[in-house]
Structure 1
């Protein structure tokens, strides 16, 4: 899964987890660095200084017993161990470990010692059977190696240092995880919940519901963003109300003059004294006035449905009978065009609807299907029970279908999927918007699926009536 496709909530969680456990890892590495570079480095300097001081007490020649005793006296009072080796090539008897007579120093190291250089060794020493930090100080005079001082302290590996702390570290990580989970949940909810609420409100506004608002609980940047969003929603709601009022007023004012134009044109068409060209002009005026009258009526209808003044006359209705009744008026034209209408309905479904408004939706959908079908196509109407309290009406045709671009804009006022075809049949481009508004007024949903050249399916979901609401026999 790509980072860009993650939700903001997951990104915040990923950041918190990465930051917390990254901090733990950096702390462990820092402690390891301090141990290796600071502690070990300090010990190395101390051992070098101790070796040099003891070397200054050595008189040239064979190592005497008094010098050896003074040097090894440190072993009784300090964790630092000092051993005097008279034969640097082999581990002499003065080291209190089993002697295997392996070469103690290499030839190259011997040359370094003869030059007065110091050797620093760190790691596992097989003779001592543990990790040590050792400084080998040469006792040399005139390029004669009288012996060496083997000064060392036992050191633990980084694993040995942290091994006793593993249970504590595991417990600490678990405690941190619990704290992170509790605090992280609150933090991510605090950050993402307003954004999620705003996202849902944005979708509602995009769908035409301008009454959606987001709650504001803080005065920080998120609160200011929510306040700005609500101001935008208020402006959009006012603008939409003004637009609806304007359309309603204009439509209402146009009704009377249009009715006059339509009426007078009908009278003129009946006048036998008109010439043919005059009758043609009057016929155009009559047709256009009739189209404008339908547009005005649709605008008023849409404004009424979307406004608060529309009150549904809801009653328990047998949906199968309503669907058959709506389709009956289109059967003759369907037979004439060679289009088959198929019905499959559950006659027991009773919905709580306004029958007149739902019939208006069915008329619009069946009419649209007929307009987009040709001879040999079919229209299928099905009514099924979707869930315990929801029924589903599906109207499927095998007609021309729509493109994906057209589906995106479907339901917008005055939008036509095929302008030439719609104008041919006198459409106003408001039928789908009116149907959508009616279904949403019933607390239902309407969904369109279509593919160019393969037809269209319209799915409507409506609440069904409770048993107490159903009519008695």
Structure 2
């Protein structure tokens, strides 16, 4: 699993879990260290001290019975066991557990004993069913080994050392787990909530809603980021308002001179004294002024739709009737191009819409489909009620589809996949942008899905009449 694809919330949780389990692992290692370095080391030092003290009582020569009795007197009053023997091989007869002398004391260790070194042994003894820690103290005189003191004590395992505290440790772990979960949940929400809010706000801004404001919860770096984000949103909103005002003003101011140009060109076209070339030039002026007039009207229409100066006239409409009326006007064109135009109706669906505006949307999309489809292609319009409050309208065609790289730009102003269409068919590149604005004004949504050479599907959701 690629951690780069994880959400920030998951990454924070993963960090906290790793930190917690890492802390537990360090605690286990610390307990093991305490057992080894504190408990076991203390026992080693105690046994060495006892062995050294008993060794000072030894007189050079063979071990006397008095010395052996003094040394082994601890066996009756203490868990620590002491055995004094002249030959290390005799230990197997003294100890309550069997030992293999050849593996118990090697030749190298024997040489260490002859040099006065102390040996420390630790291991598990089956007969005692315990771990045993032993110290071997040599009794050496003039590099002659008179005997050894074998001092040993059964030691507790790490589980036995901490067994009395086990219930407390388990309860503490459970409490810490609950506390960690609650604190971790609050902490991750505290960290990720501002980022999640900014993500939603960014999405709304990308959809054109510049009034979005991110709540500021803190004065730290995240709070400063949220504050900067709000400043950016306000600046974008002001810029959008200035742009809309500019488009509205320019469109309004251009309508009058364009109407004069178009009117005078129509008058000139009726003149009989014009030559053929002059009439051609005047006809071009008339056509271009007409195209510019349509562009200005579309710009003015889009500016009003994206602002608050063009309210919708909402009313309950039988949507199937509206769609059939729109389709009927395109049946001759579809028949001429040999394109199949199909519609599945449901007269029970009543939508709360502005009929003129929705009809404008249908005209835009059906015109686009008819333009791009070829002979024997099919345009299908379906209508379903998949949600309680919305009706889903789908316009599908089997045309050439939209290139993948162009799909994200569909709906942008003046964007066209076929730039030759402007001159040939009079398109302005604003039809889908206007349709998108109309649908958004209704509180609906629009989605375009397309695959190159596979056709295009436009899905529109519009609010139902709740009454």
Mark yes or no: TM-score above 0.5: yes
Residues 1:434 and 2:434 aligned together: yes
Deviates more, 1:33-42 or 1:426-435: 33-42
Deviates more, 1:40-49 or 1:430-439: 40-49
Q: How do residues 10-159 of structure 1 correspond to structure 2 at under 5 angstroms?
A: 10-75=10-75, 78-91=78-91, 95=95, 97=96, 103=101, 105-106=104-105, 108=107, 109-126=109-126, 128-159=128-159
Residue 246 of structure 1: how far off its partner (Å): 0.3
Residue 23 of structure 1: how far off its partner (Å): 0.7
Contact 1:334/1:341 (8 A) holds in 2: yes
Residue 8 of structure 1: how far off its partner (Å): 0.6
- SS of aligned partner of 1:461: strand
- SS of aligned partner of 1:403: coil
Residue 154 of structure 1: how far off its partner (Å): 2.4
Residue 222 of structure 1: how far off its partner (Å): 1.4
Which digits, 9 at most, give the CA deviation of each residue in 1:57-77, with x for residues without a partner?
Answer: 211222222212322334455
Which digits, 9 at most, give the CA deviation of each residue in 1:69-126, with x for residues without a partner?
Answer: 322334455553322224420336655x36x685484452444323333211011234
Residues 1:241 and 2:241 aligned together: yes
Residues 1:203 and 2:203 aligned together: yes
Residue 56 of structure 1: how far off its partner (Å): 2.3
Residue 337 of structure 1: how far off its partner (Å): 1.2
Contact 2:63/2:85 (8 A) holds in 1: no
Q: How do residues 57-456 of structure 1 correspond to structure 2 at under 5 angstroms?
A: 57-75=57-75, 78-91=78-91, 95=95, 97=96, 103=101, 105-106=104-105, 108=107, 109-126=109-126, 128-456=128-456
- SS of aligned partner of 2:135: strand
Which digits, 9 at most, give the CA deviation of each residue in 1:194-220, with x for residues without a partner?
Answer: 110110110110111111111112222
> How many residues in Structure 1 have an aligned counterpart in Structure 2?
465
Which digits, 9 at most, give the CA deviation of each residue in 1:348-398, with x for residues without a partner?
Answer: 111011101100100111111111111221111111112222211111111
Q: Which runs of 5+ in 1 are unaligned?
A: 469-473
Q: TM-score, normalised by structure 1?
A: 0.93
- 1:68, 1:309 → 2: CA distance? 114
- 1:452, 1:47 → 2: CA distance? 87
Which digits, 9 at most, give the CA deviation of each residue in 1:394-443, with x for residues without a partner?
Answer: 11111121112211011111111111134321111111011001101111
- 2:105, 2:94 → 1: CA distance? 20
Contact 1:90/1:103 (8 A) holds in 2: no
- 2:370, 2:440 → 1: CA distance? 24
- SS of aligned partner of 1:132: strand
Q: Which runs of 5+ in 2 are unaligned?
A: none
Residue 280 of structure 1: how far off its partner (Å): 1.1
Cα 1:61–1:128 change in 2 (3 A) is farther
Contact 1:86/1:92 (8 A) holds in 2: no
- SS of aligned partner of 2:386: strand
Residue 137 of structure 1: how far off its partner (Å): 0.8
Contact 1:84/1:94 (8 A) holds in 2: no
- 2:338, 2:48 → 1: CA distance? 108
Residue 152 of structure 1: how far off its partner (Å): 2.1
- 1:149, 1:126 → 2: CA distance? 23
Tell me which residue corresponds to 1:2. 2
Deviates more, 1:315-324 or 1:158-167: 158-167
